[in-house]
Structure formats: structure tokens, C-alpha cells
Amino acid sequence: MAQDAKNGSTDAVVAASGAGHADDGLSAGTAVIPADAIPNPGHPPHRKRVTDTNPKKEKRAERTVFTLFFLSIIGSIGAIAAYIAFPIENGNHEMVRMSTLFVGLGMALALFGIGVAAIHWGKALMNDKEGIDERHPVRGDDATREEAAEIFHLANEESGFGRRTLIRNSLIGALVAFPLPGVVLLRSLAPHDQDPVALLKETMWDKGVRLTRDPSGTPIKASDVTIGSVFHVIPEGLNELEHDKLNAKAKAIVLLMRLKPEDLIEDENRKGWSYDGIVAYSKVCTHVGCPVALYEQQTHHLLCPCHQSQFDVTRHCEVIFGPAKRPLPQLPITVNDEGYLVAQSDFTEPVGPSFWERLS
Amino acid sequence: MSTANATATTESTAPQQGGVRFTSAAANYIDDRTKVSAAVKEFGRKIFPDHWSFLLGEVALYSFVVILLSGTFLTLFFQASMAEVHYNGSYVPLKGMEMSVAMASTLDISFDIRGGLLMRQVHHWAALLFVASIGLHMLRIFFTGAFRKPRELNWVIGFVLFILAMAEGFTGYSLPDDLLSGNGLRIIDGIVKGIPLVGTWLSFLVFGGEFPGTDIVGRLYAMHIMLLPALVLVFIALHLVFVVVHKHTQFPGAGRTNNNVVGFPVLPVYAAKAGGFFFIVFGVIVTIASLFTINPVWNYGPYDPSPVSAGTQPDWYIGFADGALRLVPPHWETEWFGGTWSWNILAPLIVIGIFIVLVMVYPFIEAWITGDKREHHLLDRPRNAPTRTAIGAAGVTFYAAMWAGASSDLVATHFQMSMEGVIHALQFALIVGPFIAYFITKRICLGLQKKDRSIALHGYESGRIVRMQGGEYIEVHKPVSDYERWELVSFEEYKPLVLRPNDEGKITFGNRLRTVFSRWFFQDRVAPVTQGEIEAEGHNHH
């Protein structure tokens, strides 16, 4: 900002001479210091309140104040009474409601009583004559600044801070470096025995894993899936996981829909991924990962409720609106000999939001 | 600070009554050991000016106290663990369901601990009020120019507080581990993963592995109750120390100058009013909390990656960031240099980042443009700084477009519009809206200034029409009093900078740039009425 300071002082000369202003010596910048400004008329005369002139009103204000303080006491007692009066018995929500309501209102009365009374006291009864403080520039006065400068000078002399530059520079270096280990320690927050990229590229789905209902886990027969219906799907065995069930679920959730086969516009190389108009797509939005749970039956559009990305199921879930970039990954499915829907393999690409190493 | 009124606290030595004798004995005892009389002498009669808008900062401070109190209650009962349990509390619809200990203890606080639900709601409502009042307080500071020298640093400190408040809000919001908060974390995970090069690793670091893992609630809890509140307290303390050092700003008015403070002394009036106001803020929060349910996590259920509800929204203060994510057009993602660049995430982050930095450094930008090195303790009426006010309006519009984006789906369903139409309208509002707001606001300000000028010169329109002898009709204007006029004319006028070579005869790029900005700021302006004009007007007007 040194450059600017210089600019500032030059145009003080250009635009305003600054003569006669209180902050002498400081640039007024491009502010215009008018020669014939209207003078400040000074403080307006003090106007008395009704409580100053009318003893009856004063008495009344006094009564109001102490009544409010008494009301506050009543509120506090009321809150305690409500706490006792509305015990919470198992499953009785009415009591929770009453307890919250009346303990709260009692406390509110206690607080308002004090607040309103104190302010009313201040406004109606305490002296209301305005006071005036003088301001002084925030900077320390010259004598103080000189003393401070002298202290720094002495400290510099006595320590050799300015002279022994190598010591000084090494101190600065050490001070910059010393917090770094603390930051590095936070590395322990990340698991060291996992490969994020590999984990993000695989899910529980595999060849022959049955598609089951979310959350019950019952398997789905192709014949259960009527045209226009939609199923929320998890892989069989997910519910039985001991560890990190939610981690597995966050990646593996799938939406299953049956369209009229003629409505589906399928790629040549994905022809075998659906079964008789039944298609399965990852439910995790490719934008930032919310579940894409809203299916519009008529248009075959999937909508993510978080940021409104829309996917067209008839065209391999390509993005037709919203901030997402990539279509939802498709899960190749087929039917096993018992008529249950099963996966042909895992997803062929990572599901969920984009990440740096998605391709490499 | 050095002008304490010596009239305060002179203790009388005359015979005293019982109560007074005890008070003065106690005061003596304490002063003998703490030298507190020095502080009382210094600050006891310190003057604070009055204006309703000065209360906004106080609301923020007081709601933070309420947050601390209610939060302490909650920490006594909340357990920040993601271990899975079968819920066995008294809320029947969720009985037997698998959920984290965090969620279960939140339900216990709500249904099995007397006063627990009230405290949860007090905490949440107070948090909302905290962020809201900080925002309004910042707008007040901005539009009145209170950030000018010597208060630029305090603007930055206050700004940091705003960011900290949002961080506190978000970490707290995520703690119950309910469906909504889990989805919020999912979005954070997606955003972190979108950061180039380190995003994947960073996401694993934050979540301790794959999303959602079992660590995140405990980590957020540590932030929420230790580090962030400590920082908030430190910055509030700094903020208030500066308020004392600078003394409060005041609006221009008769008798008020840049070198004085007109108002009420701390003891007794200001203490009574401010102290009372704390109880009123507290009372308002408790009233709302006892009457209106907020964040009913039992309706959402525990977090599960699969379900989600339509109309999913963050708490309002994080809405601008979520909305920005929605306003990106499709397909903004590229694969460059073997990595995935998620512009649909980076673009909003960059835009918000630039916006935030601009807001934070605005005092320095304006100081550079005006070149004014003097201290400013008198506030600007917003109309008297038309360009600044217009910039503020543009910023508010920009923010509001992003903010409304977070509710685009609800706007669409409630007003029966197409969801795509709402997004497109908001995209338009984001880009073009600020310019429209800028021009309209600036015109309004200039118009109001002209109106002020005419009132200062000719007085108010009285509404009384008089027919003159010659048949001419005139409306009688009532002159304003000197006191009223002063409020209309006491503002500063800045002229655009004239481009001149510096001492070395060169025109620097910086100076050129400054000239451009200065012209932009001060080209259109209305000068305050001068004494000469008043007198000339007097002659014209019999």
C-alpha cells in the first residue's frame, strides 16, 4: 500500500488543499473541502420527557418497572412449575410438547420481564440528557510513539536483532517451519492402509449378485417389475455386513425401472445390459453424490433433489439439465434360472461424484 | 479514550445509610485489590450514541451468549459417536431402527430429557439469529461507510467472524447424523472430491476413509465445541476492543461532529438499555423456541445413503453456496492432463471465493480510490454515497440469486413454474441482476440527494396553494429549521481524480487505474448545499 499512500498525498494537492480541517496534515484525498460550508448549528435544545414534567406519569413508570420485575419472577417460578407439571412418560409426546411450550414460555416471561423493565427504567426514569465525549485521533500521541520507538530501538540494540541477520533469518525460518509438523500430524486422519482410487472404483456388485429391495433386502423377480414401476435396490448381502455397511451402501445403491422396450434407445454395445425393458442405474448423482431418487414415470426422467440434475432413462441416463456432467453409470443385469434379477458384473465405471483420478 | 468524565465515582465521605455503606465498603475492598476504580473512571461514563441499527451487532453478541449457554446444556447429553445401535427410546416410529449413537442421543435429548427439546430449539434458533444478525450488521456497516479509517481492520475481523459463524452452523447442523445432515455431508464430500489433484485424498482424510465412514461426526464435534467457539470468542474480544478504542460511530446530526460522540453514558442509561436488550433477545429466542419446531430430526430418520426427500435444503445461511452449485449449466467438466476437472464444482467455488475476498477487502479498495487518509467517525447516509450503495445493492442481488437457487425446486412447486424456468431465471438474475440493481440504486440515491438538496434550499412542500394577486398559483414551501437542514447538508463530496503525472513526470499504471475507478465512483454526484446558495435562495424568495 506504500505506492497508494504516495498517490494519495499527491492528489491531496490536486483536489483539495485541506486547509483548516481538523485532521491537519492528513490527505483528504479527492474529498472537497468547501470554503463556504453551512456551519454546524450545534446541539438542539434538550426536550423534557413527560416523566420529567408530570409526577403522575413518573409514578406510573416506576410502577410499570417494578411490576415487570415481579412478572419476571413469576415467569421463572412458572417455568419451574411447568418442568414439574409435565414429566415425560415413555412415548407421551403430548407431554414433551407441553413441557417445551410452558417451560419455554415461562423462561421467556422471566427474560422479557427483566429486559423490558430495565429498558423502560433507562428510558423513562434515568437521566436522559445526552452526554458528549471528545474524540482524539486513534494513533498514539507523538510522545508515546517516540517512547515506543525508543523501546523497539533499545530492544533491537540489546538483542542484536537487526545486526545479527543470520540469527534473525534463521529464527524467521524456524517460526515458519515449526507449525508444519502439526499439520502433517493431521495426515493420520486419513486411513493409511487404503487406496482411495481403487475403493472408489469398486462396489459390492458382482457377477451373479441378486438385486434386492432397499431396505428390506428381499430379492426381486423380473416378473415383479411391472412396466412403469421403479425399485430402490441394494445388492444381496448388504444388510448382513458387519462393518461399514453404510460405506458399501453409499456406493452400491441402484434404481431399477421397467420401460416399454420400444421406449429404450440403447447403444449397440450395451444391448445386453438390460432385460426385457428392465434397466438398472446407479442412484448416486454424478454431480456431488446425492441419491437421485425422484422418477418421473411419464417422461422417464430422473431428478436429483439436491441440485436438480436431470437424467434421461431412455438414453442411458444422459444429463439433460442441471449441473451434472456424466450420465449415471449403468449396472448390467440379467435373470438367473430361478427368475431373479442378478448383476452381470460390477459397474464398469466409478459411481458417484467426479474425482481427479477417475480415469487414470 | 482519555476523556473520562471525572465527575463519576467520586465517593462521598458524608454519613451514609446502611445499603450505601455496604456498597462503598465492598467497592473499597475490591478496589484495594484490583484497582478497578481506574477502569470505572475510564469507562463508567463512556458515551454511546443511539440508533436502532447499532443494535444489530448487539443482537449477534447476545445470541452468541445464548448459543454458548444452550450448547453447554446439550453437550452434557449429546454423544458424538457413529457406533451403530438399535434405538430404544420413547419415540415409537423409530423404535428398533438401526442408527448411530449420535442420532439416538439427539432423539433422547428431544424426547426423554425434560427441557432437552427446548434447549435444542433454543440452540438452533439462536444460531440462525446469530448468523442473520451478523449479516444485517455487516450490511449496516457497509451502507453507512462505518468501515472507513480507522475501522478497516475491524471490518476484516467482523468478516472472519461471519465465516466462523457459518462454519459453526454447518458443523453443528451435521452432528445429529440424521438424513438431512447426512445428505449435506454427502454434498461436502462431492465438493471436496472435485478439487483438482488432492480432492480424493482430502475427502478420505476428512471422512477417515470412504464416505460416510464412522469418524466424521466425532471430528465435526471437536471443531464445533472446541476450536471454532474458541476462535469466535477471540475474534469477538478483538472486535469489541476495537469498538472501545475507536469509540462508536454516529450518524450526522446537529451538534455532532467528527470529533465528538453524542449519546448516553454507560452508567447508568446505556448499561440499563443494553443489559435489558440482552434479556429481550434471549426472551425472543426462547419464545420462538417454545412455539416453533426446528430441525425435527425424528421426521427425517437416521442417515442412510439411499433415501432422500424432495425439497431437500440446507440451513438458510449455507444456501448461497448450495444454490451456486445448482446454477451451473450441464456438462461443465473436462478431462485435461490425465485428471478430471469438475468445473461444475470449481466454478461456483471460484465465484464465491472471489465474491468473499472482494467483500473482505472492500474498505481498502474504497480508501485507495478516495485517497482519503483522515479518520471518519460520522456515518454516511446511504444516499450520500450513491456508488457505494449501488455496489452494495449489486452484491446483495448477486448473493440473493445464489441464495434463491438453493430453493429453486420449492419456488417451482409453490408458484407452479417449471423447475428449469426457475433455474434459467436465476442464472439471468445472477449475471444481469447485479447490473440492474446497481443502476436502479444509483439513480434512486441521486434522486434522493436532489430531493434533499431542494428541501434544504426551498423547504418542505406545505400542500398550501396560494393564488397571487396577478393570478399566479404557487405552493407555499415551509423552510426547514437549522437543525433539520444540517442533517441534509452535512455530507462529504468527492471529486473524480484528475490524471496527472507524478513527481517524476510519469503516469503510472496504478494511477491510471485509480483515475478510472475514481471517475466511476464520483462522476455522478450531487454536491451539498453551501451557505452561499442558501443566502442566494433567501434573496430570491422574499
The domains of chain B are located at 2-34, 47-380, 442-541
Q: Please, are residues A285 and A324 in contact by the beta-carbon 8 Å criterion?
A: yes
In chain A, the residue whose alpha carbon lies closest to the alpha carbon of B207 is: A190
C-alpha radius of gyration, chain B, whole number: 29
Interface test with A, best of B185, B243, B344, B484 (most A CBs within 10 A): B344
Query: In angstroms, rounded to a whole number, what is the distance separating the alpha carbons of residues B164 and B148?
Result: 23
| pLDDT for residue A4 | 41
DSSP B424-446: HHHHHHHHTHHHHHHHHHHHHHH
Residues 6+ apart with CB under 8 A from B468: B474
* Degrees, nearest 5: CA angle B308-B309-B313: 100
Going by C-alpha positions, the residue among B502, B492, B373 that lies closest to residue A28 is B373
Q: Distance from A300 to chain B by nearest Cα, in Å?
A: 16
Residues from chain B that touch A8, judged by Cβ atoms under 8 A, are: 371-373
Going by C-alpha positions, the residue among A342, A307, A91, A96 that lies closest to residue A208 is A342
Residues from chain A that touch B522, judged by Cβ atoms under 8 A, are: 30
In chain A, the residue whose alpha carbon lies closest to the alpha carbon of B188 is: A288
DSSP B474-511: EEEEEPPPHHHHHHHH---EEPPPPP---TTS---HHH
Three-class DSSP category at B462 = strand
CB contact under 8 A, A356 and B150: no
Query: In angstroms, rounded to a whole number, what is the distance separating the alpha carbons of residues B418 and B411?
Result: 9
What burial letters (b/e) apply to A95-132, b meaning 16+ CB within 10 Å?
Answer: bbeebbbbbbbbbbbbbbbbbbbbbbbbbbbbebebbe
Q: Please, are residues B449 and B384 in contact by the beta-carbon 8 Å criterion?
A: yes
Q: Distance from A357 to chain B by nearest Cα, in Å?
A: 6
Query: In angstroms, rounded to a whole number, what is the distance separating the alpha carbons of residues A282 and A331?
Result: 7
Q: What is the dihedral of CA B488, B492, B493, B499, to 10 degrees?
A: -170
Closest CB from B1, B219, B254 relative to A41 = B254
Q: Where are the beta strands (DSSP E) in A97-229?
A: 131-134, 211-213
Which helix (H) or strand (E) is A60 found in, with range? helix A55-85
Going by C-alpha positions, the residue among B433, B451, B437 that lies closest to residue B383 is B451
CB contact under 8 A, A323 and B372: no
Residues from chain B that touch A29, judged by Cβ atoms under 8 A, are: 370-373, 494
CB contact under 8 A, A357 and B339: yes
CB contact under 8 A, A26 and B114: no
Residue B414 neighbours by CB distance under 10 Å? 10
Say if A8 is an interface residue toward chain B (CB within 8 Å). Answer: yes
In chain A, positions 79-118, which contact chain B (CB-CB < 8 Å)? Answer: 83, 86-88, 90-93, 96, 99-105, 107-118
Sequence spans of domains, chain A: 2-34, 50-131+141-189, 196-359
Give the ranges where B249-318 is alpha helix by DSSP (H). Answer: 271-291, 297-300
Task: Give strand pairing partners of B493.
Answer: A32
Q: Is the dihedral of CA A267, A272, A277, A280 positive or negative?
A: negative
Query: For chain A, how many helices (H) and strands (E)?
Result: 9, 12
CB contact under 8 A, B486 and A104: no
Task: Give strand pairing partners of A278.
Answer: A258, A275
Fill in the DSSP letter of residue B248. Answer: -
Q: Is the dihedral of CA B175, B179, B181, B187 positive or negative?
A: positive
| pLDDT for residue A303 | 93
Residues from chain A that touch B275, judged by Cβ atoms under 8 A, are: 118
Residue type for B14, please? A
Q: Please, are residues B90 and B113 in contact by the beta-carbon 8 Å criterion?
A: no
| pLDDT for residue B502 | 84
Burial class (CB within 10 angstroms; exposed 0-12, middle 13-18, buried 19+) of A69? middle
Query: In angstroms, rounded to a whole number, what is the distance separating the alpha carbons of residues A197 and B194?
Result: 14
| pLDDT for residue B11 | 45
Going by C-alpha positions, the residue among B368, B389, B371 that lies closest to residue B380 is B389
CB contact under 8 A, A353 and B373: no
Burial class (CB within 10 angstroms; exposed 0-12, middle 13-18, buried 19+) of B444? middle
For the whole model, what pTM was predicted?
0.91
Query: In angstroms, rounded to a whole number, what is the distance separating the alpha carbons of residues B132 and B141?
Result: 14
Q: Where are the beta strands (DSSP E) in A193-262?
A: 211-213, 230-235, 254-258
| pLDDT for residue B110 | 94
Interface test with A, best of B340, B364, B486 (most A CBs within 10 A): B340
Query: In angstroms, rounded to a whole number, what is the distance separating the alpha carbons of residues B420 and A310?
Result: 10
Residue type for B373, please? K
Residues 6+ apart with CB under 8 A from B371: A4, A7, A8, A11, A12, A27, A29, A30, B497, B514
Q: Please, are residues B64 and B172 in contact by the beta-carbon 8 Å criterion?
A: no
CB contact under 8 A, A14 and B529: no
DSSP B345-392: HHHHHHHHHHHHHHHHHHHHHHHHHH-B-S---BPPPGGGSHHHHHHH
Q: Please, are residues A316 and A274 in contact by the beta-carbon 8 Å criterion?
A: no
Q: Distance from A150 to chain B by nearest Cα, in Å?
A: 23
ipTM, interface predicted TM-score of the complex:
0.89
**Cα B227 to the center of its chain, rounded Å:** 22
Going by C-alpha positions, the residue among A295, A317, A310, A314 that lies closest to residue B330 is A310
Residue ranges of chain B with pLDDT lower than 70?
A: 1-18, 539-542
Say if A253 is an interface residue toward chain B (CB within 8 Å). Answer: yes
Closest CB from B210, B263, B492 relative to A199 = B210
Closest CB from A41, A110, A287 relative to B483 = A41
In chain A, the residue whose alpha carbon lies closest to the alpha carbon of B495 is: A30
Q: Distance from B441 to chain A by nearest Cα, in Å?
A: 22
Residues from chain B that touch A26, judged by Cβ atoms under 8 A, are: 373-374
Closest CB from B118, B262, B290 relative to A132 = B262
| pLDDT for residue A360 | 64
In chain B, the residue whose alpha carbon lies closest to the alpha carbon of A132 is: B262
| pLDDT for residue B541 | 54
Going by C-alpha positions, the residue among B360, B346, B363, B311 that lies closest to residue B152 is B363
**Cα B476 to the center of its chain, rounded Å:** 44
Residues from chain B that touch A17, judged by Cβ atoms under 8 A, are: none
B91-150 confidence digits (pLDDT tens)? 999 999 999 999 999 999 999 999 999 999 999 999 999 999 999 999 999 999 999 999
| pLDDT for residue A192 | 85
**Cell numbers found for residue B351:** 465465484
| pLDDT for residue A5 | 40
Q: Distance from A9 to chain B by nearest Cα, in Å?
A: 8
CB contact under 8 A, B325 and A27: no
CATH of domain A196-359: 2.102.10.10
Q: How far apart are the two ends of chain A, measured CA to CA in Å? A: 46
Closest CB from B276, B277, B340 relative to A358 = B340
CB contact under 8 A, A360 and B268: no
Residue type for A161, please? F
pLDDT tens-place values along chain A, 360 residues long? 334 443 434 333 333 333 334 456 789 999 998 888 899 999 999 999 999 999 999 999 999 999 999 999 999 999 999 999 999 876 678 899 999 999 999 999 999 999 999 999 999 999 888 899 999 999 999 999 999 999 999 999 999 999 999 999 999 999 999 999 999 999 889 988 889 999 999 999 999 999 999 999 999 999 999 998 999 999 999 999 988 899 999 999 999 999 998 899 999 999 899 999 999 999 999 999 999 989 998 899 999 999 999 999 999 999 999 999 999 999 999 999 999 999 999 999 999 999 999 986
CB contact under 8 A, B338 and A360: yes
Q: Distance from A31 to chain B by nearest Cα, in Å?
A: 4
Q: Which architecture characterizes domain B47-380 according to CATH?
A: Up-down Bundle (1.20)
